[in-house]
């Protein structure tokens, strides 16, 4: 195991997750604001999820060549589901009474979206992001097949030469990475999402 | 200042509001009451265009409210609903400052106003300003709801069963507070409730609605004494108001007459005296007539004990 592999892996995870947040959250908001188009978006996102990651990577490799970009794009496609869905579900779960109250106060559509709906949906969105990061750590393992590098190559090699120690090391590193991201984002969730949920006794 | 002109509302061919004509004067406290589904909330929400009328028009200060700028219309009409209406993601301060922010008030001015309002209900800013609605009791939340509606001094406030979810004691306190604020600031309030006692306590005028129509508009006492028809009477009786005779005075029941004289068969009371007190104070079985005198001591009318008893049984 080399630090290079770990860094490659983290690179794939962080870049793909950042991209998927930048694409997925606005897509989820759009799907909420335009329910008809939204149904199509959600169906497409669902469908993408059903294609095996390895197949997506293979197909994309034909277009983009064997490099980490291909891996990153594949991961992004695969992770759209939790982000778009959670954003959409979060927005839809905001009480209609609060939406009406926002209207009654004189908020325009954008003010209502930003100050009421998005703000209240934010804990849901953070949960989606958390799921995305943890999933990305696992999915990025396949990156090695399309030249993305990362810890996948270590696992792959371990399987090829039937080296138990190599497989175990790779797996443990991945687990530590997952737990790290999960904890980090769990902390962020508590910080940002829960302020108004706390009840002082 | 507010005028509903033959306002109708239909949903999918079904007419919910069947022609409401209603005029509300400046500073008046009007309570819309009636059984659930009578259209009172719809009538209320049509004023700030949360619901658009299908037919007819609503005029505010001589202008058709559909031709007014929507944001201007809504920021000039305060809105209070049950406590769920506070934004849970915002602090007390932020909740109160919602409308000032929409109107782009300066920060300093907003903060001063928030502090002023919180002081008005004895909830100091330092203690409560940064709290979230969930950290407050139901009564406190509803106070903040009222303050939020008052923030920019709107001339009109709409209240949709604002105290429905509160316990009776808190409800009574808040009713008094709102009534006091309304009188002091001369705000026009349209208030929806299904609670007749609440209506009696708050209203200058009660508008009784049923099945999308206004059945009766009258000041509380008049509605109590002279319900326009069976539906109104039954509604009042069902709510137990019948046994509540407070606010009804001797003057309300007396028959005007001149040349009266008090005699052995009569007792003399003040015109302003409440019927309930009269019953407690005198043993009415000993008398046949109750003579009513005005503040100068002049006899101005009489009530026969028979008719009083008749009224009392009716109210039971």
Domain assignments of chain B as residue spans, ordered by start: 2-242, 250-315
| pLDDT for the residue numbered A200 | 39
**Alpha helices in A106-200, H assignment, sequence order:** 109-111, 119-139, 151-160, 164-193
Q: How far apart are CA A154 and CA A172, in angstroms?
A: 12
Chain A residues 11-30 with a CB less than 8 Å from chain B: none
Q: How far apart are CA B292 and CA B312, in angstroms?
A: 18
For the segment B26-49, the average pLDDT, to the nearest whole number, is 93
Q: Quick one: pLDDT band at residue A201, thresholds 50, 70, 90? A: very low
For the segment B154-174, the average pLDDT, to the nearest whole number, is 90
For the segment A154-166, the average pLDDT, to the nearest whole number, is 90
B250-315: CATH topology = CBS-domain (3.10.580)
How many beta-carbon pairs below 8 A join chains A and B? 65
Q: Quick one: pLDDT band at residue B200, thresholds 50, 70, 90? A: confident
Percent of chain A topping pLDDT 90: 65
CA distances A193 to A154, A189, B307, Å, are 37, 5, 66
For chain A, how many residues are written? 201
For the segment B190-213, the average pLDDT, to the nearest whole number, is 91
For the segment B50-62, the average pLDDT, to the nearest whole number, is 93
Q: Tell me the per-residue pLDDT of B169-194, one tens digit each, with 9 for 90 and over.
A: 888 889 999 999 999 999 999 999 98
B2-242: CATH topology = Rossmann fold (3.40.50)
Q: Which of A36, A68, A43, A49 is nearest to A142 (CA)?
A: A68
Is pLDDT of B316 > 70? no
d(CA A193, nearest CA chain B) in Å = 9
Using an 8 Å CB-CB cutoff, list chain A residues near B98.
105, 107
Q: Mean pLDDT over all residues of chain A?
A: 90
| pLDDT for the residue numbered B166 | 86
| pLDDT for the residue numbered B255 | 83
Using an 8 Å CB-CB cutoff, list chain B residues near A100.
50
Burial class (CB in 10 A: 0-12, 13-18, 19+), B83: buried
d(CA A192, nearest CA chain B) in Å = 11
Q: Quick one: pLDDT band at residue A197, thresholds 50, 70, 90? A: low
> Per the CB < 8 Å rule, is B89 touching A120?
yes
Instruction: State the number of CA atoms in the 13 A half-sphere of B207 facing the CB.
Output: 25
d(CA B67, nearest CA chain A) in Å = 16
Ramachandran region of residue B79, left (φ > 0), alpha (ψ -120 to 50) or beta? beta
d(CA A78, nearest CA chain B) in Å = 32
Positive or negative torsion for Cα B28, B218, B239, B44: negative
| pLDDT for the residue numbered A4 | 86
Using an 8 Å CB-CB cutoff, list chain B residues near A111.
102
Is pLDDT of B143 > 70? yes
CA distances B254 to B11, B275, B308, Å, are 48, 11, 9
Q: Quick one: pLDDT band at residue B101, thresholds 50, 70, 90? A: very high
φ and ψ of B288, to 5 deg:
-110, -30
| pLDDT for the residue numbered B300 | 86
d(CA B50, nearest CA chain A) in Å = 7
- Considering only CB atoms, B102 lies closest to which of A98, A101, A105, namely A105
Q: Tell me the per-residue pLDDT of B245-282, one tens digit each, with 9 for 90 and over.
A: 667 788 888 888 767 777 778 888 888 887 767 776 77
> Per the CB < 8 Å rule, is B85 touching A97?
yes
φ and ψ of B299, to 5 deg:
-75, 130
Q: Are B29 and B191 in contact (CB under 8 A)?
A: yes
Q: Are A75 and A114 in contact (CB under 8 A)?
A: no
When mean pLDDT is compared across A26-40, A178-192, B268-282, the lowest value belongs to B268-282
For residue A18, give the H/E element and its range.
helix A3-33
| pLDDT for the residue numbered B301 | 87
For the segment B192-215, the average pLDDT, to the nearest whole number, is 91
When mean pLDDT is compared across B62-66, B128-132, B262-266, the lowest value belongs to B262-266
Is pLDDT of A198 > 50? no
Q: Quick one: pLDDT band at residue A85, thresholds 50, 70, 90? A: very high
Positive or negative torsion for Cα B313, B314, B315, B316: positive
Is pLDDT of B102 > 70? yes
Using an 8 Å CB-CB cutoff, list chain B residues near A102.
87
Instruction: State the number of CA atoms in the 13 A half-sphere of B24 facing the CB.
Output: 30
Q: Are B228 and B216 in contact (CB under 8 A)?
A: yes
> Per the CB < 8 Å rule, is A106 touching B74?
yes
> Per the CB < 8 Å rule, is B87 touching A98?
yes
Using an 8 Å CB-CB cutoff, list chain B residues near A108.
71
Is pLDDT of A54 > 90? no
Residue B269 C-alpha from the chain's centroid: 30
| Number of Cβ atoms within 10 Å of the Cβ of B269 | 22
Residue bearing the bigger pLDDT, B309 or B106: B106
**Alpha helices in chain B, H assignment, sequence order:** 40-47, 70-75, 92-96, 98-102, 107-120, 125-128, 138-150, 168-185, 196-202, 220-225, 230-238, 250-253, 275-281, 305-315
What is the greatest pairwise CA distance in chain B?
73
Domains and CATH numbers, chain A: 3-193 (1.10.3720.10)
> Per the CB < 8 Å rule, is A101 touching B88?
no
Most trustworthy range by pLDDT among A55-59, A131-135, B231-235, B266-270: A131-135
Using an 8 Å CB-CB cutoff, list chain A residues near B87.
98, 101-102, 115-116, 120
When mean pLDDT is compared across A52-61, B58-67, B179-188, B300-309, the lowest value belongs to B300-309
Is pLDDT of B156 > 90? yes
Q: Which of A38, A41, A11, A17 is nearest to A126 (CA)?
A: A17
Is pLDDT of B242 > 90? no
């Amino acid at each position: 195991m080399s630090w290079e592999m770990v860094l490659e892996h983290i690179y794939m995870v962080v870049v793909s997750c950042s991209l998927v947040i930048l694409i997925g959250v606005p897509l989820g908001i759009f799907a909420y604001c335009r329910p008809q188009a939204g149904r199509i978006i959600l169906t497409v996102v669902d469908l993408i999820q059903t294609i095996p990651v390895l197949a997506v990577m293979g197909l994309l490799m034909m277009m983009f060549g064997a490099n980490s970009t291909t891996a990153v794009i594949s991961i992004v496609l695969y992770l759209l589901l939790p982000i778009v869905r959670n954003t959409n579900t979060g927005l839809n779960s905001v009480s209609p009474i609060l939406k009406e109250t926002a209207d009654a106060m004189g908020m325009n559509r954008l003010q209502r979206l930003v100050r009421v709906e998005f703000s209240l949906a934010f804990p849901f969105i953070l949960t989606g992001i958390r799921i995305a990061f943890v999933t990305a750590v696992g999915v990025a393992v396949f990156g090695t097949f399309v030249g993305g590098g990362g810890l996948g190559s270590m696992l792959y090699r371990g399987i090829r030469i039937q080296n138990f120690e190599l497989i175990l090391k790779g797996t443990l590193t991945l687990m530590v990475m997952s737990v790290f991201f999960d904890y980090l984002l769990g902390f962020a969730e508590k910080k940002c999402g829960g302020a108004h949920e706390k009840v002082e006794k | 200042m507010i005028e509903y002109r033959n306002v109708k509302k239909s949903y999918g061919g079904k007419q919910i509001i069947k022609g409401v004509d209603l005029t509300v004067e400046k500073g008046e406290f009007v309570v819309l009451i009636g059984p659930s589904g009578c259209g009172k909330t719809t009538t209320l929400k049509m004023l700030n265009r949360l619901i658009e009328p299908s037919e007819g028009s609503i005029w505010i200060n001589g202008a058709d409210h559909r031709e007014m700028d929507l944001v201007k219309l809504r920021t000039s009409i305060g809105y209070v609903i049950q406590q769920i209406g506070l934004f849970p993601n915002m602090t007390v301060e932020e909740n109160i400052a919602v409308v000032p922010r929409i109107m782009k008030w300066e920060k300093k001015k907003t903060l001063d106003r928030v502090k002023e309002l919180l002081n008005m209900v004895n909830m100091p800013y330092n203690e409560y300003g940064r709290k979230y609605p969930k950290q407050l009791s139901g009564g406190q939340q509803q106070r903040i709801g009222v303050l939020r509606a008052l923030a920019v001094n709107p001339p009109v406030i709409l209240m949709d069963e604002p105290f429905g979810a509160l316990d009776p004691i808190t409800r009574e306190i808040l009713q008094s507070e709102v009534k006091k604020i309304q009188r002091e600031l001369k705000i026009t309030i349209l208030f929806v409730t299904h609670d007749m006692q609440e209506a009696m306590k708050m209203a200058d005028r009660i508008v009784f609605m049923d099945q999308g129509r206004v059945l009766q508009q009258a000041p509380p006492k008049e509605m109590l004494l002279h319900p326009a028809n069976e539906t109104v009477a039954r509604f009042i009786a069902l709510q137990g108001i019948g046994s509540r005779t407070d606010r009804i005075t001797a003057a309300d029941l007396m028959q005007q007459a001149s040349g009266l004289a008090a005699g052995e068969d009569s007792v003399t009371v003040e015109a302003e005296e409440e019927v309930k007190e009269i019953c407690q104070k005198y043993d009415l079985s000993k008398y046949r007539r109750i003579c009513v005198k005005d503040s100068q001591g002049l006899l101005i009318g009489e009530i026969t004990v028979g008719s009083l008893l008749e009224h009392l049984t009716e109210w039971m």
